[in-house]
Amino acid sequence: MTGLLEDASFNQSPAFENVDLFSSDRPLADAAARYGLDSASLSDFGRDYGSSETLELGRLANENPPKLRIMDAKGNRIDRVEFHPAYHALMAKTIGYGVHASVHDGSEPRGAMTQRAARLYMATQAEAGHICPVTMTHASLGSLASAPDVLAQWRPKILSRSYDPAQRPWWEKAGATIGMGMTERQGGTDVRANITEAHAQGDHVEITGHKWFMSAPMCDGFLVLAQAPAGLTCYLTPRFRPDGSINGLRFQRLKDKLGNKSNASSEVEFHRAYAQRIGPEGVGVRTIIEMVQLTRIDCAVGSAGLMRIALAQALHHIRHRSVFQRKLADQPAMRAVAADLALEMEAQTALVMRLAHAADANDKDWLRLLTPAIKYFVCKSAPAFVYETLECLGGNGYSEELPMARYFRESPLNAIWEGSGNVMALDILRAAARAPDEARRVIAGLAQRAGEAFDSAPLAGEIERLLLSGEAERRARFICEGLARLAAVATLVEARSPFASLYARARLNGAHMANYGAQDLGFADETKLMERALAM
201 beta partners? 204
Domains of the chain: 26-138 (no CATH), 170-286 (2.40.110.20), 287-533 (1.20.140.10)
Q: Could you tell me which residues come within 8 angstroms of residue 257 by beta carbon, excluding any fewer than 6 positions away? A: 265, 413
pLDDT at 315: 97
Q: Count CA atoms within 13 Å of residue 310 on its CB side.
A: 32
Mean pLDDT calculated for residue range 258-276 = 97
Q: How far is CA 349 from CA 25, 224, 293, 322, 486, in A?
A: 10, 32, 19, 30, 15
**How sure is the predictor about 512, in pLDDT bands with cuts at 50, 70 and 90?**
low
Amino acid 337 reads V
pLDDT at 134: 98
Alpha helices by DSSP H, listed for 218-363, are 284-320, 332-361
pTM of the shown model: 0.95
Q: Is the pLDDT of residue 115 over 80?
A: yes
322-323 and 265-278: which strand pairing?
A: unpaired
Q: Is the pLDDT of residue 1 over 60?
A: no
**How sure is the predictor about 5, in pLDDT bands with cuts at 50, 70 and 90?**
low
Mean pLDDT calculated for residue range 460-478 = 93
**How sure is the predictor about 489, in pLDDT bands with cuts at 50, 70 and 90?**
very high
Q: Is the pLDDT of residue 510 over 90?
A: no
pLDDT at 325: 87
**Rg, Å, the chain Cα set:** 24
Mean pLDDT calculated for residue range 450-476 = 94
**How sure is the predictor about 536, in pLDDT bands with cuts at 50, 70 and 90?**
confident
DSSP 8-state assignment for residue 246: B
CB 81 within 8 A of CB 66: yes
Mean per-residue pLDDT over the chain, rounded = 94
**How sure is the predictor about 400, in pLDDT bands with cuts at 50, 70 and 90?**
very high
Q: How far is CA 445 from CA 361, 400, 440, 465, 491, in A?
A: 16, 46, 9, 16, 11
Percent of the chain with pLDDT over 90: 90
Mean pLDDT calculated for residue range 509-531 = 82
Q: Is the pLDDT of residue 6 over 70?
A: no
Q: Count CA atoms within 13 Å of residue 173 on its CB side.
A: 26
Q: Is the pLDDT of residue 3 over 60?
A: no
